[in-house]
A and B are shown apart, each in its own frame.
Chain A
Amino acid sequence: MVGSVAVWIAGVILMCLEGALLAAFGIEQWSLQLGLIIVCYLGMRRGFESSAWLLVALMMPLEWTTGGPMGGYSMGAVIVFLLLRLVASQLEARWSAWKAMFCAIAVLVHHALIAGYWLMVAPDSPIITSVFATMLPATVSACVVSLPLGWALARLEDQFTPREGTQGLSFG
């Protein structure tokens, strides 16, 4: 439970930090989409139920920091999460590159879903071209960032999960 709260806090801080740093350094055309990578982390995390509730709690900050019309980005994130859970439960991926590859595919799928959503909402909008144009850089950044970020979040959770046979937080 405490581990989940820690991941939520870390997720919100990372998303806000990304937005602030991009603005401070004048980077407008490109982003890491850390929020989406955190969703990928949840998709491959232990425990379906806690991960799902964690995603529910992250949805509003995710919407706020992405700046799009409410709901579209989150719906894409939910579908990506459920697909990743489905795939992750069928695989025993010990090789780290697999995880990075699945995150990259998840980001690709998310972009495709966003494009599909916009095709329904505003078929003439130039955003559809924009979504496809940013697909490749987003996939590459997901591939690069997912491993260190996933590792860091898993270590963070470990810090808040007492091991069996220990007393947890204690001076003794």
Chain B
Amino acid sequence: MNDLFEKHREKLAVFVLILIPVVMMATSAGADVGQEGSSRAVGYTRGVLYTGQLGVVQLLGGTQGLLGAWFSSELAEENERLREENALLREEKTRLIGVLQENARLRKQVGFKDAHPEFDLVPARVIARDTSPYFRVISIKITQEDARLLPRMPVVVAGGVVGQIHKVYDGWADVIILSDPRSNIDALSQRNRAQGVVQGLGKERDYTARVAYLSEKDDVQIGDTMVTSGMGGIFPRELVIGTVTSTSPDERRLFQRVVIEPAVDFSRLDMVYVITGVERPRNEGM
């Protein structure tokens, strides 16, 4: 038996190499968004990796001021005489701008919470993104201990829709943002209620998405705001998705080709909110 094993060790390694991805593919949700819970061991292991990533993000946040000062002094070398004074002033200015921006951002978030008392919002911190160039996934750390998250729950910020939860681990989650090619969000035009589905394009240069299934007869103009329709039961109604940036007729003359720019700047995401529940007003659906 041992001889047989020794003789075929390399073949066994190749077999296992091929078997594991096949098993993964067979047991995964495929291209669908939202994957049900994983085992405790997987959750624990991922938690260790996420903790490391959170540490890096926190470390970078802490050293941001120092980096700012370093860049400031590099610029100030042009004027030797005023270098120290310049660096000091710049550092102070950078810090003040940072504080003001942070303040404005927090005000905005508080404003969002106040403006939507019907939502149960769970705050979360962005700690990492995917390392592939074609998927658009962010990892978040849930900052509320007792929060119970589920796959496909909507993720938003004050500016609008971010995406929806894909996988949940203890205290952590992966979020597929709306520019990911797997993302589909039922939407309508705020101006004339023309209905379509916002699909991510996964483009390498921007976060644009397209609005599929918009009929040729629908009047869609550049600058129109697309909002969530509330259909499908995932997203509540009237959350801003983005603005139409281009429209053109489809070759088959059945639908239009509409591209939108998301309302959220995904490159500056820091804190996000997960909508864990919606209090429905009387006589109104989601």
- Is B1 in the interface zone, CB < 8 Å from A? no
Q: Which of B17, B27, B174 has the most CB of A within 10 A?
A: B17
Cross-chain contact B28 with A69 (CB below 8 angstroms): yes
Stretch of A48-56, A97-105, A148-156 on the interface side: A48-56
Interface presence of A146 (CB below 8 A): no
A17 touches B (CB below 8 Å) = yes
Q: Given B30, B138, B201, B205, which contacts A121 in the complex, CB threshold below 8 Å? A: B30
Min C-beta distance of B45 to chain A, whole Å:
8
Report chain A residues within 8 Å CB of B136.
28, 67
Contact B52 A16 (CB under 8 A): yes
Taking A65-B130, A65-B131, A134-B134 as contacts, is the C-beta distance between A122 and B201 under 8 angstroms?
no
Kindly list chain A residues whose C-beta atoms are within 8 Å of the C-beta of B201: 126, 129-130
Q: How large, as a class, is the contact surface on chain B?
A: 35 or more
| Most-contacted residue by chain A among B10, B127, B138, B202 (CB, 10 A) | B202
C-alpha gap A126/B166 in the complex (Å): 19
Q: Does A171 contact B (CB under 8 A)?
A: no
B28 near A48 with CB under 8 A, answer no
Q: A24 to B57, Cβ gap below 8 A?
A: yes
B31 touching A64, Cβ below 8 Å = no
| A70 on interface, CB distance cutoff 8 Å | yes
**Which A1-39 residues have C-beta < 8 A from chain B?**
12-13, 15-24, 26-35
- In this complex, how many residues of chain A approach chain B with their Cβ under 8 Å: the count is 61
On chain A, the residues within 8 Å of B27 by CB distance are: 70
Check if A73 is an interface residue, CB within 8 A of chain B: yes
Nearest CB in chain B to that of A141: its residue: B133
For B140, the closest partner residue in chain A by CB is A23
**Which one of A74-82, A88-96, A162-170 is at the B interface?**
A74-82
Please state if B60 and A48 are interface contacts (CB–CB under 8 Å): no
CB within 8 Å: A-B pair count? 189
Q: A29-B203, A75-B22, A78-B18 are in contact. Are A23 and B128 (CB under 8 A)?
A: yes
Verify B210–A126 contact, CB threshold 8 A. yes
Q: A71 contacts B28, CB within 8 Å?
A: yes
Instruction: Report the Cα distance A2→B136, complex, angstroms.
Output: 35
Set of chain B residues within 8 Å of A82, measured between Cβ atoms: 14, 17
B20 with A56: CB separation less than 8 A: yes
Is B126 part of the binding interface, using a Cβ–Cβ cutoff of 8 Å? yes
User: Is the contact region of chain A dominated by helix, strand, or loop, or is it mixed?
Assistant: helix
A residues 40-72 with Cβ under 8 Å of B? 48-49, 52-53, 55-56, 59-61, 63-72
Partner of B181, one of A16, A70, A81, A126: A126
B202 x A22 contact (CB < 8 A): no
Identify B135's interface contact among A23, A68, A137, CB under 8 A. Answer: A68
- Chain A residues, CB < 8 A from B130: 19, 31, 65-68
A26-B61 Cα distance, complex, nearest whole Å:
13
CB of B164, distance to nearest CB on chain A (Å): 13
Cβ contact of A12, chosen from B25, B30, B49, cutoff 8 A: B49
Q: Are A19 and B53 in contact (CB under 8 A)?
A: yes
A17 lies within 8 A of B203 (CB):
no
**A133 at the A/B interface (Cβ < 8 Å)?**
yes
Q: A23-B269, A130-B203 are in contact. List 14 more A-B contacts (CB 8 A).
A: A17-B53, A18-B131, A19-B129, A23-B138, A29-B203, A29-B205, A29-B206, A56-B13, A66-B130, A67-B137, A125-B31, A125-B182, A130-B133, A137-B133
List 18 contacting pairs A-B, 8 Å CB cutoff, sorted by A.
A17-B52, A20-B57, A21-B56, A23-B126, A24-B60, A28-B129, A29-B133, A31-B132, A33-B132, A52-B13, A56-B16, A56-B20, A61-B49, A64-B46, A71-B23, A127-B181, A127-B182, A130-B134
Q: Please name the 10 residue pairs, one residue from A and one from B, whose CB atoms are nearest each other, closest first.
A: A67-B130, A67-B137, A71-B25, A71-B24, A130-B202, A26-B267, A127-B181, A70-B28, A19-B128, A20-B56
Residues of B within 8 A of A (CB): 9-10, 13-14, 16-18, 20-31, 45-46, 49, 52-54, 56-57, 60-61, 126-139, 166, 174, 176, 181-182, 199-207, 210, 266-269
